[in-house]
Each structure stands twice: as structure tokens, then as C-alpha cells.
């Protein structure tokens, strides 16, 4: 049994790994790249703790074989902040008690981040739909909705300002 060599870009960095037959993207992220922000809550596609964005799609990384991730672009929770600056969504999560234990938070943040990239003013329903696969046992998801809407408002006004400055 030979392990296939895979290369993928994770949070903007090119990485290499061995993809054994049964290895998942989640295992490679956590064990080979030390990106333990992405969590394992079930290993069976039921909880969303392992959500990452792969080639623009929100996926449960426990259900993606490492071999399938060859050549892909992956964003994990560790890739949301840029230059040490938290994304507005990350800041909002802290302020609105969008988590308690925080174990669901990395997956939840990645799902919400993906939502904001296609919708700058999501309704409550749209947020709930975006996180429908992200299980949280501690909260009732209200803080998440508040955080996403707060971050969306902040991003909209930042954009408006950028447009003004550009003019």
C-alpha cells in the first residue's frame, strides 16, 4: 500500500502530506499541519465541528478523503484573521456570547464567514440556514445570529467608507 503524496494550499500556504487510504482532510489538517482549530465532534459528517472551506465550498472535512483534497485551496479557522488582525466576525463572536465552550466555534465561524462572502446583509433565517449543519450543544444559536449580523453591519459600513475614500 503506497501512500499518495498530496499538495494543497491551506490558508494561503502550500503544504504537503501523505494521503493514506483512510486518511481524511481533517486528520491531515490536525495531525500533519498542526491546525487543531478544526475540531472533530463525530467523524461522521453529523456535527459540523470540522467545517472548512475547500475550493470555495463549505465542507465537513471529516468526510473528505485527504486524496480528494489534492491540489485544493483550503481555509480553516486559523486563516480568518489577517496579519494578526481578527476578522470582524471573530470579534463579534467574542462580544455576543456566540459560544460557551467554544468547541463548535471554529466550524461555526467558517460557515458564517462563507455566508458573509456571498451575502453582506443576511437575515436571521439566512444565518440559521448557513449554520444548519453546525451543531452547538451549549447555546441556542441566538448569539451566532447576533454576531453575524453585527459583523455584516460593520463590514458594510467599512465598505461604504472605502468607496467614499476611493471617490
Partner 1 sequence: MIDSGAVGRWVSAPGAYDIVTGKARYCPDLDFPGMLIGKLLYSPHARACIRRLDVTAARMIPGVIAVLTHADIPGENSYLYAEPDQPLLVVDEVRFQGDAVAAVAAIDEQTADAALRAIDVEYQALDGIFDPLAAMQAGAGQVVAGKDNIMMHKTYRTGDVAAALASAHVIVENTYRTQWAEHAFLETEGGVGLVDADGGVTVYSSCQAPHRDRMQIARALGLPESRVRVITPYIGGAFGGKDEAHVQIHAALLAHAARRPVRLIRGRRESILTHVKRHPFIVHCITAATRDGRLLAVKARAIVDAGPYSNATHEVLNKFGEFIGGPYTVKNLEIEKIAVRTNNPITGAFRGFGAPQAAFVYESQMDDLARKLGMDPLEIRLLNGVDTGTRMYTGVVVREGKAMKASLRRAAEMMGWQQRGELGRQPATHLRRGWGMATILKGSGMGRGLPDHAAVLLEMHRDGSVVLQSGAADMGQGIVTVLAQLAAESLGVEMSSVHVVRADTAQAPDAGASCASRQVMVSGNAVLRAAVPIRDSLLQVAAEKTGVARDRLVLHGGRLHVDGQAHDLTVAELARRALFRGYPLQSEGRYELEYPADAPEVTYRYSQEVFQFCTQIAQVLVDCETGQVAVERLVAVHDAGKMINPGGVYGQIEGGVAQGIGYALTEELRVTEGHTLNASLENYVIPMALDIPELEMDVLEMPEPLGAPLGAKGIAESPIIPTAPAIRNAILDAIGRPLYQLPMTAERVLSALDAAPCADPA
What are the angstrom distances between the C-alpha of 35 and each of 118, 120, 159? 26, 28, 31
Q: How many beta carbons lie within 10 A of that of residue 50, not counting itself?
A: 28
Residue 42 C-beta: closest distance to partner 1, Å: 4
**Cα gap 49→36, rounded to integer Å:** 11
Please tell me the chain's helix, strand, coil percentages from 3-state DSSP, rounded to the nearest 5: 45, 15, 40
Q: Among ligand FES, partner 1, none, what does residue 29 contact (CB within 5–8 Å per kind)?
A: none
Contact 63, 38 (CB under 8 A): no
Interface with ligand FES, residue 60, by CB under 6 A? yes
CB of 167 to ligand FES, least distance (A): 42
Interacting positions 77-116 with ligand FES (CB under 6 A): 99-104
Q: Which residues would be at the binding site for partner 1 (CB under 8 A)?
A: 30, 34-47, 49, 76-78, 80-81, 86, 90-91, 93-97, 99-106, 109, 124, 127-129, 131-144
Question: Minimum CB separation from ligand FES for residue 2, in Å?
Answer: 27
Amino acid at each position: 500500500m503506497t501512500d499518495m503524496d498530496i499538495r494543497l494550499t491551506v490558508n494561503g500556504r502550500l503544504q504537503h502530506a501523505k494521503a493514506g487510504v483512510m486518511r481524511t482532510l481533517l486528520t491531515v489538517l490536525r495531525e500533519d499541519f498542526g491546525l487543531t482549530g478544526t475540531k472533530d465532534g463525530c467523524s461522521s459528517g453529523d456535527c459540523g465541528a470540522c467545517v472548512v472551506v475547500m475550493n470555495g465550498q463549505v465542507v465537513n472535512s471529516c468526510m473528505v478523503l485527504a486524496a480528494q483534497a489534492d491540489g485544493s485551496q483550503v481555509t480553516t479557522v486559523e486563516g480568518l484573521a489577517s496579519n494578526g488582525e481578527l476578522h470582524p466576525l471573530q470579534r463579534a463572536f467574542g462580544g455576543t456570547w456566540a459560544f460557551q465552550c467554544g468547541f463548535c466555534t471554529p466550524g461555526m465561524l467558517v460557515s458564517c464567514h462563507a455566508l458573509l462572502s456571498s451575502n453582506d446583509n443576511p437575515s436571521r433565517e439566512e444565518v440559521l440556514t448557513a449554520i444548519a449543519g453546525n451543531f452547538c450543544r451549549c447555546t441556542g444559536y441566538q448569539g451566532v445570529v447576533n454576531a453575524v449580523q453585527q459583523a455584516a453591519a460593520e463590514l458594510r459600513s467599512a465598505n461604504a467608507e472605502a468607496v467614499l475614500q476611493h471617490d
